[in-house]
Structure 1
Amino acid sequence: MARAKHIALWGALLVGVVALFEWTNLDLQVQDRLFNFEANGWMVDREAPLPRLLFYTGMKGGLIAFGVTTLVLYGLSFWKGGGDKAGLQSLRQRYLTVILALIVVPSTIAVLKAETNMYCPSQIERYGGDKPYVTLFEAYPARCRPCDSGRCFPAGHASGGFALMALYHMFRKKKNRVMGLFGGLGLGWTMGLYQMMKGAHFLSHTVVTMVASWVMILCVADVARRIHSTSEVGAPESGMGGERRAQAVTMETRRC
């Protein structure tokens, strides 16, 4: 019940965030400060190779490598010949939470991007493009019908970084949980701000992605808990062997 209330609370916050940007000009106010109207250019050049390597392709590659590593560790926890089997088993549920987050969050955001039909700042007339600016629930003007090729809301690139907020569920100690959460937040905002500074996304795209990602992470964490609620440390064993395994699991969990 507590988990359901938590998810509902963040879901309500997501609705509130969408409403805020729907009823205000906050997106334009922020984006105007990232665009040089005199030079007709963005704060960051879209074609600049070094920023793209650091904040786009490099971070994407890093997320893929991290996801593959976590998947391998999750698989090893089922391998009976593994060395530290008890330690891996104690983390199995948490590995699964991170894996599901890295799959579900970007995939869901990608589906939404294909359906919301909203354009990037660089495509908007205000910033040198040829499309009118409209909010999520606002209709396009008659002169722009059909306008059905917008693919910019929510923010797809930042979703990979925000998915790592699932690291909050990777640890038991509060300090480590907070570090995991802020690590995902920091990475998501680094990726999101880069996209904003080159005209690829509005502020609302990134904020909505952040909140929606956390709602999804809460859901997948609950799914992972249910899947491994009865199998996190395997079937119980009798005798001294079972006691030793239980002690090993307890020690590993405390380290985290």
Structure 2
Amino acid sequence: MNRTMVTRQILATFGLLLAALALFELTNIDLLLQDRLFLEPAHRWLVDAKDPVWRFLLYDGPKGALVLMGIGLLISYIASFRSAKLRPHRRRLLVLLLAMSFVPLLIAGLKSYTNVYTPDQLARYSGDKPYVKVFESYPPDFHQTDRGRGFPAGHASGGFALMALYFFFRQKQHRLIGWLFGFGLGWAMGLYQMFKGAHFLSHTVVTMLGAWLIILIIYRLAGCEEDANKTELHSV
């Protein structure tokens, strides 16, 4: 992907992010979907947050695997300064390492500023907090004792960070597979959070778009499109 294409991707993704924010702000899609995930008679969510199997498969397991992968990438990147085999992959290792570091970090940082509660904290779903969208204000009679940290979706951001695998591989087919792996893992982790009342749909959608935007910016700043151009020229 050359520099112009990357820039266009950044602008297009930013536009989609703004459109997504507007869509969820102006509609009640979040509530319409989340109402169907909450079993009203039993006052519980479709998936039990304490279920050990689901928690391992879609929460603790992926988090642990991502940490191990990050450590492996860091070791490989450091080794690339001394290894002739790894040296040609240094920039791509760096992009993937930075994506896995900065995507969750920046998404987590936004959570403290948006001040949005998770579904399971809301009075609508047996909690005690009012439902307020990202750009809305809390009711005057609501005395906030703790800030909400529900938006965007922090857990899914780790999975979506792996969409950066698109830039790790050289062949288009492998790039697509890598991107789909990150996309699929992010949504699996995000849907689990939705099914147990930890996030709305908008939280996951915005996280996905935000993650891809961050990845594109990292790739652009790392100058990897220059390597891509050289590879294309050599293949002609």
TM-score (norm 2): 0.92
Which residue number in structure 2 is paired with residue 155 of structure 1? 153
What is the rounded CA distance, in whole Å, between the counterparts of 2:220 and 2:57 in structure 1?
34
Which residue number in structure 2 is paired with residue 96 of structure 1? 94
Which of 180, 183, 201 is matched with 1:182 structurally? 180
What is the rounded CA distance, in whole Å, between the counterparts of 1:105 and 1:97 in structure 2?
11
Which residue number in structure 1 is paired with residue 195 of structure 2? 197
- Note the 1:1-256 alignment, pairs <5 A: 2=4, 3-79=6-82, 82=83, 85=84, 87-146=85-144, 148-225=146-223
Unaligned runs of 5+ in 1: 233-249
The answer as to whether partners of 1:117 and 1:148 remain within 8 angstroms in 2 is no
Which residue number in structure 2 is paired with residue 242 of structure 1? none
How many residues are aligned here? 229
Task: Give the 3-state SS of the residue equivalent to 2:141 in structure 1.
Answer: helix
Structure with bigger gyration radius: 1
1:140-159 residue CA offsets vs partner (Å, 9 max, x unmatched): 11121336510010000000
The answer as to whether partners of 1:121 and 1:127 remain within 8 angstroms in 2 is yes
What is the rounded CA distance, in whole Å, between the counterparts of 1:155 and 1:120 in structure 2?
10
Unaligned runs of 5+ in 2: none
The answer as to whether partners of 1:113 and 1:154 remain within 8 angstroms in 2 is yes
Task: Provide runs of 4+ in structure 1 moved above 4 Å.
Answer: none
What is the rounded CA distance, in whole Å, between the counterparts of 1:147 and 1:49 in structure 2?
31
Which residue number in structure 2 is paired with residue 235 of structure 1? none
1:98-123 residue CA offsets vs partner (Å, 9 max, x unmatched): 00001110000011001100000000
1:197-233 residue CA offsets vs partner (Å, 9 max, x unmatched): 100000000000000000000001112226x969x9x
What is the rounded CA distance, in whole Å, between the counterparts of 1:150 and 1:38 in structure 2?
26
Structure 1 residues 113 and 8 mapped into 2: Cα distance closer, same or farther (>3 Å)? Answer: same
Superposition RMSD in Å? 2.1
TM-score (norm 1): 0.85
Structure 1 residues 72 and 223 mapped into 2: Cα distance closer, same or farther (>3 Å)? Answer: same
What is the rounded CA distance, in whole Å, between the counterparts of 1:20 and 1:31 in structure 2?
16
